[in-house]
Amino acid sequence: MRLKIILTLSVIAGVILAWDLHRIFLQVPDEANQGAIFRIIYFHVPAAITSFTGFYLAMFSSIGYLMKKDLRLDSVAASINEVSLAFASITLCTGSIWGRIIWGIWWTWDPRLTSFFVCWLIYVGYFMLRRAVDDPTARARLSAVLSIFACVDIVLVWKSIEWFRTQHPGPVLEIRGGGGMAPGMEAPLWWNFLAFLMLATVLILIRTRQETMKLEIDALRRQAHAF
C-alpha cells in the first residue's frame, strides 16, 4: 500500500513538474524589471512554503510524542524535519543566487534572510542533537522540545517582511495581499508548490520507513545482547 502511494505520488509530482517547467520557461514572459532571473521564484517560494509546512507538521508530531511517548511519532517528526531541511536549503541557495543578480550581492543580514538562516541553523542543530544523544527516549524528548521551539522562528521568518523594512521583497503573492504578480504568472508557482508537497510526502514516507527500520534494528540488538 505504502509503495503504491509512493509510486503514484512520484508519477503525479513528476508530471506536474514537467508540465510546469514547460510553462515557466516557454509560456511565462520575462518580468519587466528583473528579466529571466525572476523565474527562480518558482522554486524559491514553493520550496520555502513546503519547508514551513513540514516544520509545522513535525511540531505536531513532536507534541504527539511528548503526550504519548510513542517513539514512532519521534521517527515521523525526524523524517519530516529532515525533508523540510532539504527544501529550506533549496530556498537559501536559490534566494542567494537571485540576490546576486538583483542586489549585486550573494547575502545581506536583513531580517528575512537572517531569521531564515537562523531557522536553518536550528534544524541543523536538531540533527546534530539527535546524533549526539544515544538513549532513544532522551533523544526523542530533547529533539521534540527543540522542534516545538524552532517553530517560533518560522513565525518570525513569515512575518518579518511585514514587521520590518527589509531588503527582501515584501509580500508578492495574492494570499498575502501582495498582488504583485499577474494571475497567469502566479499559477505555476502554486502548481510547483503542489508538486513539491507530493515530492516531500514521498521522501517523508521513505524516511519514516527507514526510521522504523532503525527502531527495529535497535530492538533486535537489545535482544541479541540479552543472550
Positions in the binding site for other proteins (CB under 8 A): 30, 34-37, 39-40, 43-44, 47, 83, 86, 89-90, 93-94, 97-98, 100-101, 199, 203, 206-207, 210, 213-214, 216-217, 220-221, 223-224, 227
Q: How far is the CB of 66 from other proteins (least distance, A)?
A: 26
- The burial of 46, by beta-carbon neighbours within 10 Å (0-12 exposed, 13-18 middle, 19 or more buried), is given as buried
Q: How far is the CB of 98 from other proteins (least distance, A)?
A: 7
Q: How far is the CB of 166 from other proteins (least distance, A)?
A: 21
Nearer to other proteins, 24 or 59 (CB): 24
Nearer to other proteins, 92 or 161 (CB): 92
Q: How far is the CB of 21 from other proteins (least distance, A)?
A: 9
CA dihedral for 222, 225, 226, 227, sign (positive or negative): positive
Nearer to other proteins, 102 or 146 (CB): 102
Nearer to other proteins, 162 or 216 (CB): 216
Neighbouring C-beta atoms of residue 149, cutoff 10 Å: 12
Report in angstroms the alpha-carbon separations of 186 from 18, 37, 190: 17, 15, 7
Amino acid at 112: R
Nearer to other proteins, 174 or 216 (CB): 216
Report the interhelical angle of 71-102 vs 183-226 (nearest 10°): 140
Task: Identify the helix (H) or strand (E) that includes residue 34.
Answer: none
**Alpha carbons 171 and 51: distance in angstroms, whole number:** 18
